[in-house]
Amino acid sequence: MNKQEKIEGYELLNLQLKALLSEQNYTLSNLANASSLLWSFLPEQVYTGFYLYNGDKLILGPFQGSVSCVEIVMGKGVCGEAAQTRQTMIVEDVKKHKNYISCDGRAMSEIVVPMVKDGNLVGVLDLDSSEVGFYDEIDQKYLEEFASILCDMTDFKFFEVG
């Protein structure tokens, strides 16, 4: 797919997400449906899902793909790094990333988008592709928008610490 098709696809995806979430704001339902929506949109994925921040570490949330790591310490792996810095991370080749945690040997590249609501980290959106160099600035822009829509339309109070 060329860049314009990719952009148009993401724009449609984000509109679909808004429609999907418009009737309710349940955390688990929204995360499960969002991971399924992304999984369908990006068939090259080996993992599409969420890790939720419990105030100490990241805990596996709803996802599509193979069995995955259950806990990730802040700062460890791409998810832990992105959560700690609150910055999106794109890793073109996970085999060359020193701090990479391998949960699925088929993963070749990864993008992780921190999810922040009302200034608080609630988790990360994590996607792994079977292709090296799969993610680019277009993916980053629209996945950050996807995560922002999801945070705006989801009640994460169920996961608040304290």
Q: Cα(55)–Cα(41) distance, rounded to whole angstroms?
A: 31
| Per-residue confidence (pLDDT) for residue 116, from 0 to 100 | 97
| Per-residue confidence (pLDDT) for residue 159, from 0 to 100 | 52
Q: Cα(109)–Cα(115) distance, rounded to whole angstroms?
A: 20
| Per-residue confidence (pLDDT) for residue 102, from 0 to 100 | 72
| Per-residue confidence (pLDDT) for residue 158, from 0 to 100 | 61
| Per-residue confidence (pLDDT) for residue 73, from 0 to 100 | 96
What percent of the chain clears pLDDT 90, i.e. is strictly above it?
Answer: 81
Q: Cα(13)–Cα(16) distance, rounded to whole angstroms?
A: 5
| Per-residue confidence (pLDDT) for residue 60, from 0 to 100 | 96
- Residue 17 CB neighbour total at 10 angstroms: 22
Q: Residue 27 contacts by C-beta under 8 Å, 6 or more apart in sequence?
A: 154, 155, 156, 158, 159
| Domains of the chain, CATH where assigned | 3-155 (3.30.450.40)
| Per-residue confidence (pLDDT) for residue 79, from 0 to 100 | 96
- Looking at every residue in the chain, the average pLDDT score rounds to 92
The 8-class DSSP code of residue 94 comes to G
pLDDT tens digits for the chain (162 residues)? Answer: 799 999 999 999 999 999 999 998 999 999 999 999 999 999 889 999 999 999 999 999 999 998 888 999 999 999 999 999 999 999 999 888 887 777 777 888 999 999 999 999 999 999 999 999 999 999 999 999 999 999 999 998 765 554
| Per-residue confidence (pLDDT) for residue 162, from 0 to 100 | 47
Q: Residue 56 contacts by C-beta under 8 Å, 6 or more apart in sequence?
A: 74
